[in-house]
């Protein structure tokens, strides 16, 4: 993969593209894919537009038809929050029911091309289900580590796609540590959706689809953020499109967190926040107390002039129920958090009445416990 290298997000050093380089060997920070001058974008297109991808041949890619998710107007939401145009991009219509499939498809395509036969992943549920499905399809053995208290439907989904599941007691961080110990002891590949630079190459397709849509790029994109895979990937896509002259503006990117686990929102507000400040939240997908790509998320908030908002569980449940009963959109609590965040953004005047806002509905409601 000579056309691709991995660039450290902190020190800027370049490294060879490899599934074994999940953090910069020089400083330990996450790495991103960088395309060399000889890169041929012509091989890959998305939404009719050339897109740089880290694997070579389209025919080798591991796909289940992910992406190209519908965008629907949510007029009841628009009235409720006082904005004229609000759209929802239904990411739960991806093959395993969450946006993670965008990232997994590319990560697994690279793994297959590099001859990887066995991977380790840790997940609160959705990424685990996605990796389990795509690994099985690619003929790759997957070990998925998940918290013992993850929603039953997600644990079942991970199992039924065929991954070897490892259930870990304790906080979410204990699951990550168990996965790291496991891959290091056995010399396996760590296909972490939080760290893999290839995963972000998949989530960037979100931006390509918006750019190609008749309405074009919205003024605001609202995303529930744990580690920021969709948030960072979407921004990367917008930057590529801008550099290629295919769009002339980028949206404000807003990162929504739960107030029980809000490292990004706190840092954005300039307030101290540590692991000890964590409280339980029903938004399990964004319950990430120490996101390794936090600085990247903060940099994007600043570059796009977006906001980071923390919302409480009461408002998350309210929005989850309201989205189902008023809009026919049954999303999981993590995804409902984005609508609770939209309401606050509008209330605080960060989104004006005439602006067009788009909310990513990241995961399907049946994956989680029903709202109380």
Ligand X SMILES: Cc1ncc(COP(=O)(O)O)c(C=O)c1O
Residues near ligand X (CB under 6 A) are: 98, 124, 126-127, 224-231, 285-286, 288, 332, 334-335, 362-363
Non-local CB neighbours of 339 within 8 Å, separated by 6+ positions: 77, 319, 322, 323, 359
- Check if the beta carbon of residue 6 is closer than 8 Å to that of residue 34: yes
Element (H, E) at 222: strand 220-224
Strand pairing report for 85-90 and 71-73: antiparallel
Residue number with CB closer to ligand X (282 or 357): 282
CB atoms within 10 A of CB 48: 9
Provide, rounded to whole angstroms, the least separation between the CB of residue 318 and ligand X. Answer: 18
Question: CA 319, 325, 331 angle in degrees (round to 5)?
Answer: 55
User: Which one of ligand X, Zn ion, none interacts with residue 237, CB within 5 to 8 A by kind?
Assistant: none
User: Which residue is listed with tokens 């060997």?
Assistant: 25
Q: Which residues bind Zn ion (CB under 5 A)?
A: 8, 10-11, 24, 26-27
> Least distance from C-beta 370 to ligand X, angstroms?
16
State the Cα–Cα distance between residues 294 and 290, nearest whole angstrom: 8
Q: How far is the CB of 84 from ligand X (least distance, A)?
A: 26
Instruction: Return the number of the residue (25 or 79) whose C-beta is nearest Zn ion.
Output: 25
Task: Choose the one of Zn ion, ligand X, none that binds residue 8, judging by a C-beta under 5 to 8 angstroms depending on kind.
Answer: Zn ion
Q: Which does 319 bind (CB under 5 to 8 A by kind): Zn ion, ligand X, none?
A: none
Q: Select 19 or 286, whichever has its Cβ closest to Zn ion.
A: 19
For residue 204, the minimal CB distance to Zn ion (Å) is: 22
Out of ligand X, Zn ion, none, which partner does residue 97 contact, by CB within 5 to 8 A per kind?
none
Cα(283)–Cα(260) distance, integer angstroms: 9
Structure tokens, 196? 């893999």
Q: Give the rounded distance of the alpha carbon of 141 from its chain centre.
A: 23
Q: Which does 189 bind (CB under 5 to 8 A by kind): ligand X, Zn ion, none?
A: none
Nearest to 171 by CA among 292, 280, 294: 280
1 binds, among Zn ion, ligand X, none (CB under 5 to 8 A by kind): none
Q: Residue 88 Cβ, how far from Zn ion at the closest point, in Å? A: 37
Cα separation of 81 and 83, whole Å?
A: 6
- Name which of 108 and 247 has its Cβ closer to ligand X: 108
What's the closest the beta carbon of residue 172 comes to ligand X, in angstroms? 10
Q: Which is nearer to Zn ion, 8 or 188 (CB)?
A: 8
- Shorter beta-carbon distance to ligand X: residue 210 or 247: 210
């Amino acid at each position: 993969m000579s056309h691709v290298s991995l660039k450290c997000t902190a020190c800027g050093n370049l490294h060879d593209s490899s599934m074994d380089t999940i953090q910069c060997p020089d400083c330990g920070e996450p790495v991103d894919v960088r395309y060399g001058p000889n890169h041929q974008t012509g091989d890959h297109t998305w939404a009719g537009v050339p897109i740089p991808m880290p694997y070579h041949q389209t025919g080798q890619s591991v796909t289940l038809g992910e992406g190209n998710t519908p965008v629907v107007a949510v007029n009841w939401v628009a009235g409720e929050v006082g904005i004229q145009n609000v759209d929802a991009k239904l990411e739960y219509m991806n093959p395993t029911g969450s946006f993670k499939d965008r990232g997994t498809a590319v990560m697994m395509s690279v793994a297959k091309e590099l001859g990887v036969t066995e991977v380790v992943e840790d997940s609160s549920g959705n990424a685990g289900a996605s990796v389990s499905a795509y690994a099985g399809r690619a003929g790759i053995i997957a070990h998925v580590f998940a918290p013992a208290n993850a929603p039953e439907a997600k644990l079942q989904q991970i199992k039924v796609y065929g991954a070897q599941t490892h259930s870990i007691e304790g906080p979410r961080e204990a699951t990550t540590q168990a996965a790291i110990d496991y891959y290091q002891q056995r010399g396996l590949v760590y296909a972490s959706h939080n760290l893999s630079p290839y995963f972000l190459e998949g989530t960037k397709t979100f931006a390509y689809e918006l750019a190609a849509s008749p309405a074009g790029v919205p003024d605001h994109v609202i995303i529930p953020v744990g580690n920021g895979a969709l948030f960072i990937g979407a921004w990367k896509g917008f930057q590529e499109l801008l550099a290629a002259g295919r769009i002339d503006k980028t949206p404000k990117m807003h990162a929504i967190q739960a107030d029980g686990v809000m490292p990004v929102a706190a840092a954005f507000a300039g307030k101290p926040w540590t692991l000890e400040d964590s409280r339980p939240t029903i938004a399990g997908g964004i319950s990430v107390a120490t996101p390794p790509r936090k600085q990247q998320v903060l940099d994007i908030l600043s570059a796009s002039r977006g906001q980071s908002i923390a919302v409480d569980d009461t408002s998350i449940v309210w929005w989850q129920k309201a989205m189902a009963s008023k809009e026919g959109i049954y999303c999981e609590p993590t995804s409902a958090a984005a609508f609770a965040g939209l309401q606050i953004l509008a209330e605080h005047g960060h989104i004006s009445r005439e602006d067009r806002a788009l909310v990513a509905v990241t995961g399907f409601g049946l994956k989680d416990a029903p709202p109380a």
